[in-house]
Structure 1
Amino acid sequence: MVSGTLYTPEGYHRSWRAQIAAQFSGATLNIVNFVPGVTDSDKSFLDKFPPATVPVFEANDGTCLFDVNAIAYFLGTDQLRGWKNTHLVTQWVNYADNSILPSVATWVYPCLGITQFNKQNTEKAKTCIASVLKFLNEQLSKITFLVGDRLSQADITVFTALHLLFTHVYEEKDRKPYPHVVRWYTTIANQPEVLKVVGPSSFCIKAAQFDAKKYAELHKKVTETKQPKETKKEKPKPEVPSKKEKPKDDDDEDDERPKPSKILLRTFLLESLIWTPSKGYTAIWISKKRQYRIFGAILTQKLTPSGSVNICIPKSSL
């Protein structure tokens, strides 16, 4: 019996395909919460897996996998793999990753506050999704499952790719033209093995919308400030001011001000991208509002559940 540890963020929809496969096969999974910049900063972890890659899996026999489809294949059964139709299962898995999930993410992620909203990209994604669902509906009008007469990894993968769409933004009027897709989706959602991982799935009643305020709350709000243009005429003569003459900013907090030479090696989240600085990076303190100058912008530092986030920039940019 296969057993091992799956590193994944809690409730991550891409990891479901591996977890559901384990439910079908009876594989024992130890689920460890993956924290970007923390879990993948440990040397022993990086010796086995690429950084910023989720989910990843380590079997008790030492097998290490960092592709979710490979993990699902490893944990699954011959039935899920398609028996002699493995090539057809692989085809649907790739279709889900390349043609379904990118468009779903483009539309749904901004509504969840994960990424920034772009109207042009969202409209394009909606068109692509309609095309995908039309194709799926035609295919499923003649069959119960995508490959063969039993559920396979093809069904699991396409189901997880569509889950965010049907639960967050696709209302009843949107689903109405695709009755065969809805029937198939409901069948997969109600499988006992799927329910144990995903839980009960309910269809969207009112489509979620992008909320700029929510997005700002989930991310460190970037505030652009206009800096006064420096002129040669106004450039002060080089002097060594005394301590009394040294101007003091009302916002300064000497107790909390980090020294410019102090090396900070923490990871922070900026616009949904993980950036782990290396040596040679330093911070510039702006005010008690915990702001740091980064490439001409001001980024407000906020506390996270795990503590404060150190923001770093290259010394060459000072």
Structure 2
Amino acid sequence: MVSGTLYTPEGYHRSWRAQIAAQFSGATLNIVNFVPGVTDSDKSFLDKFPPATVPVFEANDGTCLFDVNAIAYFLGTDQLRGWKNTHLVTQWVNYADNSILPSVATWVYPCLGITQFNKQNTEKAKTCIASVLKFLNEQLSKITFLVGDRLSQADITVFTALHLLFTHVYEEKDRKPYPHVVRWYTTIANQPEVLKVVGPSSFCIKAAQFDAKKYAELHKKVLRLSNRKKQRKKNPSPKFPPKKKSPKMMTMRTTNVQNQVKILLRTFLLESLIWTPSKGYTAIWISKKRQYRIFGAILTQKLTLSGSVNICIPKSSL
């Protein structure tokens, strides 16, 4: 069974088509939140995927995909792919991306504060959407699903493309001329696999409007964060020298030394190792302690209870 990791912003409508496909196929999908400018600035990420591209997917077998339709195809089933009608499924998927989503984004994104409002472009988008829905309504007047007699990736993709429209700006009076589209949309929205990803879908009651103040506030925050990142690059925090590593431990190699150390450690505690160029490491012992630590090393002088002994650690063990 297919399994892997999908990198996507939370609740991103374009990623839904892949997530829903995984629900139908039973593929195991690990969702990782994609943060623009952070996730795609990591070298390990850029070695596999283009920058500023979402969603992207990495399968557990190493397969890397950065096109959402390819990801959905990879995660889906033969039924979702259309069996012998794959060409028809591909046709509807491309229609959603090229004829539906651009117009929906032009109208809805400004209402969500994502992009700036342009009246001329919005009016043009409304005209295009009306044309699309008229065509869809005629097609769906004769059929239940877009390809064949079962739900396919064509239905999933067109549904996700229309979701923002029907949720945020298309009121009941706007939907009324397209009863077959509404019936079909409701059918797809209530599929258990769709509900697990998208959640309950509700139709728009009152159309959202562009809010210039909201847009300005939102983009001030984005600009402020961007400026902070630039400032950090110009004035990086000072680098401190790395801390010196403590000497590594190794195993005792002389039986006599091992026995002497065992006796010594019953009453003395190794407090620290001090390095001197002439003597190597010096082990400092504190008397009248029953605790002890065993530091592996080759002792180069005879053990005494005078307070310290010299030890040598070979370079190969450092």
Tell me the CA shift for residue 286 of structure 1.
61
Structure 1 residues 60 and 133, CA gap change in structure 2 (3 angstroms)? same
Contact 1:265 1:278 (8 Å CA) reproduced: no
Task: Select the structure that is richer in helix.
Answer: 2
Structure 1 residues 41 and 246, CA gap change in structure 2 (3 angstroms)? closer
Contact 2:279 2:310 (8 Å CA) reproduced: no
Tell me the CA shift for residue 46 of structure 1.
0.2
CA distance in 2, matches of 1:81, 1:110: 34
Contact 2:137 2:180 (8 Å CA) reproduced: yes
- 1:100-152 CA-partner distances (Å, limit 9, x unpaired): 00000000000000000000000000000000000000000000000000000
Higher relative CO (Cα under 8 Å, sequence separation at least 6) belongs to 1
Tell me the CA shift for residue 218 of structure 1.
1.0
Structure 1 residues 302 and 25, CA gap change in structure 2 (3 angstroms)? farther
Contact 1:25 1:77 (8 Å CA) reproduced: yes
- 1:79-105 CA-partner distances (Å, limit 9, x unpaired): 000000000000000000000000000
Structure 1 residues 191 and 31, CA gap change in structure 2 (3 angstroms)? same
Bigger drift between 93-102 and 212-221 goes to: 212-221
TM-score (norm 2): 0.70
Tell me the CA shift for residue 238 of structure 1.
35
TM-score (norm 1): 0.70
Tell me the CA shift for residue 302 of structure 1.
67
Where in structure 1 are there 5+ consecutive unaligned residues?
249-261
Structure 1 residues 81 and 41, CA gap change in structure 2 (3 angstroms)? same
Structure 1 residues 167 and 235, CA gap change in structure 2 (3 angstroms)? closer
Contact 1:80 1:153 (8 Å CA) reproduced: yes
Tell me the CA shift for residue 217 of structure 1.
1.4
Structure 1 residues 148 and 222, CA gap change in structure 2 (3 angstroms)? closer
Contact 2:299 2:310 (8 Å CA) reproduced: no
Contact 1:50 1:66 (8 Å CA) reproduced: yes
Structure 1 residues 6 and 21, CA gap change in structure 2 (3 angstroms)? same
User: SS state of the match for residue 271, structure 1?
Assistant: strand
Partner of 2:116: 116
CA distance in 2, matches of 1:310, 1:152: 77
Contact 1:82 1:89 (8 Å CA) reproduced: yes
CA distance in 2, matches of 1:223, 1:297: 58
Structure 1 residues 23 and 227, CA gap change in structure 2 (3 angstroms)? closer
CA distance in 2, matches of 1:301, 1:114: 75
Provide the identity percentage: 94
User: SS state of the match for residue 289, structure 1?
Assistant: coil
Tell me the CA shift for residue 220 of structure 1.
1.8
Where in structure 2 are there 5+ consecutive unaligned residues?
249-261
Contact 1:264 1:310 (8 Å CA) reproduced: no
Structure 1 residues 185 and 222, CA gap change in structure 2 (3 angstroms)? closer
Equivalent residues, number = 305
Structure 1 residues 305 and 298, CA gap change in structure 2 (3 angstroms)? closer
Moved over 2 A (4+): 221-248, 262-318
CA distance in 1, matches of 2:304, 2:214: 16
CA distance in 2, matches of 1:211, 1:301: 82
Contact 2:145 2:184 (8 Å CA) reproduced: yes
From the CA coordinates, give the structure whose radius of gyration is larger: 2
Contact 1:3 1:29 (8 Å CA) reproduced: yes
Structure 1 residues 51 and 244, CA gap change in structure 2 (3 angstroms)? closer
Bigger drift between 298-307 and 169-178 goes to: 298-307
